[in-house]
């Protein structure tokens, strides 16, 4: 008998094999491919090209794994078409290092199911009303949006929804935007449910990933907390999907296979015919538009949990306030912070840049220090005393010989980074314990210990980047000083303002979560900045409505579909030539509006020159199929890499 088998590789079709044993669609099998044996899945379609004549190879064996469900196969097929990704690469996302994990006695799942002492949480009136309304739409596909003020207890509402599904012997997935959140979130989960969830992200060991993959496939694991890749795991009986912080751009994967995990989660829920809940304080424009159109159901929590007050806001004008020479903080900010510290409040200084300085120049020869492999500035990290590229990881020593006098360069460090602010903070508050809160410090092995010190108020002053805005709960944080508001919302993409409002709204919500009076200070040179008014307004829908009007006027997403194509090559001329050749074909054979090619804003990354093509199209057109047909027949030199990004989030 003949069977189509999809393998985890670059091919967009299954391969035909023969077998004497009876197999069904979804069965995991081992097959010979080239000189190796690899895992694959019996697919629901044969390869289309019947002109080839070759001798069929035999399937080696059927694997001892529960078959891949038809709903999951349908989802993976749809994912492939929507994102213009070969089917084999889509299957690769599902398998674990190209392997299906077989049922074995040595895979011990006990650790995920112990009963631990749990707390009893009671929903307040607003939470209970939302939970009741959400429960009514909890048995078939629908998209629910739970919007709530930061600190309003949205997590408790959806925990109760998850609990109901687990009682029905179904599985739940909670998607988080950052792996740094999983440790604290796991504690909340255990405290509520009384058992450990499975955790899935890039930092989980291969051994534990095998346990989880097999445990989900067999139905033994009921709940998983994970990053975007957990969406492709083999759930035996998935009952609900939660996307926490649904607006977060971290759900978008830009490298390798590009996709938006939030949008793909909605599609998976559709194929599984289960509810999905999108959680946010400031929903994305796409989500808000779908609420307005009636496609998504909206549920809102206005008040904070236990009636805690939202922080008050104060703008500190650098044009009028006194500032010490060579100081980054004005006297009024220093005075305000001292008052908070006297009241035993924790303080956060916020600047959304890692390192010490994002711009370094020699004042004698005027050399600007840029990455040799990427066309961006190197960032100086004082802690390691090195220049660092935040794109490719390139490191460079600080010792440079000046061309003017053959002596060492005299560096000028421009711009603000967390390390520079920390230096300033230590000058003004030398007796207080301080710490940097960024991806450089909090994703390390000792991060849980550092987090506990912050929670226990041992660390009095934090200097943080955007990571701190993402769901952390610090009970003593009652003072936030925002230092970079005048430089925010600058970027290469149409979502800059949306992202900025979401970030600072979330950030403000870290303050005063335990009910104590709290304050957010904006140190600014522009008190009339419209963005500040959007941030401090407690109703984010006012901003979203205005932003949606602008998008509609200029036919920007979500009113048109954007598809970005990046051509990259070590040879700049070849990259440009191939880009122009592809544009010529796209203009002839697609209905989209083709823009470019142009040099990408970051023209070189990891030594490769990049040219960008942007395709705009009406959403009623299946532009992905048209693009796929062209790319399939477009001959690319081996030196060229072509990347397609449907619904791009950034335009670097």
pLDDT on residue 53:
66
pLDDT in tens, 419-446: 999 999 999 999 999 999 988 887 655 6
pLDDT in tens, 323-359: 777 788 999 999 999 999 999 999 999 999 999 999 9
Longest CA span, the chain: 85
Tokens for 145?
Answer: 């949006």
pLDDT on residue 147:
97
pLDDT on residue 367:
85
pLDDT on residue 532:
85
pLDDT in tens, 498-548: 998 999 989 988 898 888 999 999 998 887 777 888 888 889 999 999 999
Distance CA 77, CA 86 (A): 9
Residue 358 backbone phi and psi in degrees, to 5: -85, -5
Per DSSP bridges, beta strands 477-482 and 519-524 are parallel
Distance CA 109, CA 213 (A): 11
pLDDT in tens, 6-37: 999 999 999 999 999 999 999 999 999 999 99
pLDDT in tens, 194-252: 998 999 998 899 999 999 999 999 998 999 999 999 999 999 999 999 999 999 999 99
Strand partners, 614: 564, 595
Strand partners, 2: 18
pLDDT on residue 530:
78
Distance CA 68, CA 302 (A): 42
pLDDT on residue 336:
95
**Residue 160 DSSP label:** H
Average pLDDT, the chain: 91
Neighbours of 648 (CB within 10 A): 23
* Stretch 89-114: mean pLDDT: 79
pLDDT on residue 51:
55
> Scanning the structure block, which residue is given the tokens 């805005």?
469
Higher pLDDT, 98 or 537: 98
pLDDT on residue 246:
97
Whether the per-residue pLDDT at 110 is higher than 70: the answer is no
pLDDT on residue 105:
52
Tokens for 214?
Answer: 């097999």
pLDDT on residue 296:
97
Whether the per-residue pLDDT at 642 is higher than 90: the answer is yes
Distance CA 454, CA 441 (A): 13
pLDDT in tens, 380-404: 999 999 999 999 999 988 877 888 8
Which H or E element spans position 78?
helix 70-83
Higher pLDDT, 453 or 293: 293
- Confidence bin at 473 (pLDDT 50/70/90): confident
pLDDT on residue 549:
96
DSSP secondary structure string for all residues of 525-586 = S-TT-HHHHHHH-S-HHHHHHHHHHHHHHTT-TTSSEEEEEEEEESSHHHHHHHHHHHHHHH
Compute CA distances 466 → 469, 502, 505, whole Å.
Answer: 5, 11, 11
**Residue 50 DSSP label:** -
pLDDT on residue 484:
85
Tokens for 515?
Answer: 């009910």
Distance CA 141, CA 154 (A): 21
Domains and CATH numbers, the chain: 2-68+90-94 (3.40.1440.60), 110-306 (3.40.50.300), 309-549 (3.40.50.300), 561-646 (3.30.70.600)
pTM reported for the whole predicted model: 0.93
């Amino acid at each position: 008998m003949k069977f189509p088998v999809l393998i985890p590789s670059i091919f967009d079709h299954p391969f035909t094999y023969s077998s004497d044993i009876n197999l069904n669609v979804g069965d995991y099998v081992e097959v010979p491919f080239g000189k190796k044996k690899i895992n694959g899945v019996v697919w629901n379609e044969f390869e289309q090209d019947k002109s080839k004549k070759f001798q069929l190879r035999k399937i080696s064996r059927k694997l001892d794994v529960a078959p891949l469900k038809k709903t999951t196969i349908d989802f993976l097929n749809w994912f492939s078409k929507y994102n213009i990704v070969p089917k084999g690469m889509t299957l690769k996302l599902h398998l674990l290092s190209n392997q299906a994990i077989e049922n074995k006695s040595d895979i011990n799942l006990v650790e995920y199911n112990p009963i631990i002492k749990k707390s009893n949480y009671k929903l307040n009136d607003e939470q209970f009303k939302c939970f009741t309304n959400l429960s009514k739409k909890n048995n078939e596909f629908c998209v629910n949006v739970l919007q709530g003020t930061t600190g309003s207890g949205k997590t408790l509402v959806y925990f109760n929804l998850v609990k109901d599904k687990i009682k029905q012997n179904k599985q739940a997935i909670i998607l988080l935007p950052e792996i740094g959140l999983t440790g604290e979130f796991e504690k909340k989960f255990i405290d509520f449910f009384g058992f450990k969830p499975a955790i899935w992200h890039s930092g989980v060991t291969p051994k534990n990933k095998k346990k989880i993959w097999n445990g989900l496939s067999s139905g033994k694991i009921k709940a998983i907390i994970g990053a975007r890749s957990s969406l492709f795991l083999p759930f035996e009986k998935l009952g609900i999907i939660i996307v926490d912080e649904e607006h977060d751009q971290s759900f978008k994967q830009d490298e390798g296979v590009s996709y938006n995990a939030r949008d793909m989660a909605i599609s998976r829920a559709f194929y599984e015919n289960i509810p999905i809940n999108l959680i946010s304080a400031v929903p994305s424009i796409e989500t808000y538009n779908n609420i307005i159109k009636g496609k998504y159901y909206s549920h809102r929590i206005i008040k904070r949990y236990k009636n805690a007050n939202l922080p008050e806001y104060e703008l500190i004008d650098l044009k009028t306030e006194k500032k010490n020479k060579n100081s980054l903080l004005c006297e009024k900010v220093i005075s305000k912070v001292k008052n908070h510290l006297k009241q035993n409040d924790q303080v956060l200084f916020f600047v959304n840049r890692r390192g010490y300085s994002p711009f370094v120049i020699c004042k004698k020869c005027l050399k600007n220090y840029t990455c040799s492999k990427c066309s961006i500035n190197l960032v100086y990290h004082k802690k390691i005393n090195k220049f660092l590229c935040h794109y490719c990881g390139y490191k460079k020593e600080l010792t440079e010989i000046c061309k003017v006098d053959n002596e060492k360069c005299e560096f000028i460090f421009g711009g603000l980074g967390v390390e520079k602010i920390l230096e300033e903070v230590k000058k003004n508050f030398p007796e207080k314990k301080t710490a940097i809160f960024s991806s450089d410090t909090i994703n390390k092995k000792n991060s849980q210990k550092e987090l506990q010190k912050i929670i226990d108020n041992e660390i009095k002053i934090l200097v943080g980047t955007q990571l701190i805005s993402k769901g952390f709960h610090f009970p003593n944080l009652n003072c936030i000083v925002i230092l970079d508001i005048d430089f925010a919302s600058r970027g290469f993409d149409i979502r800059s303002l949306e992202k900025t409002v979401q970030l600072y709204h979330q950030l403000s919500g870290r303050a005063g979560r335990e009910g104590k009076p709290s304050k957010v200070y904006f140190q600014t040179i522009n008190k009339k900045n419209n963005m500040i008014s959007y941030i401090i307004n407690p109703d984010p829908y006012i901003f979203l409505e205005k932003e949606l009007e602008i998008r509609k006027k200029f036919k920007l997403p979500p009113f048109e579909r954007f598809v970005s194509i990046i051509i990259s090559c070590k040879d700049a001329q070849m990259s440009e030539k191939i880009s122009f050749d592809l544009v010529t074909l796209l203009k002839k054979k697609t209905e989209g509006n083709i823009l470019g090619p142009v040099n990408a804003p970051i023209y070189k990354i990891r030594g490769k020159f990049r040219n960008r093509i942007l395709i705009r199209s009406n959403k009623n057109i299946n532009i992905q199929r048209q693009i796929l047909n062209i790319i399939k027949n477009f001959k690319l030199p081996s030196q060229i890499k072509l990347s397609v990004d449907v619904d791009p989030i950034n335009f670097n």
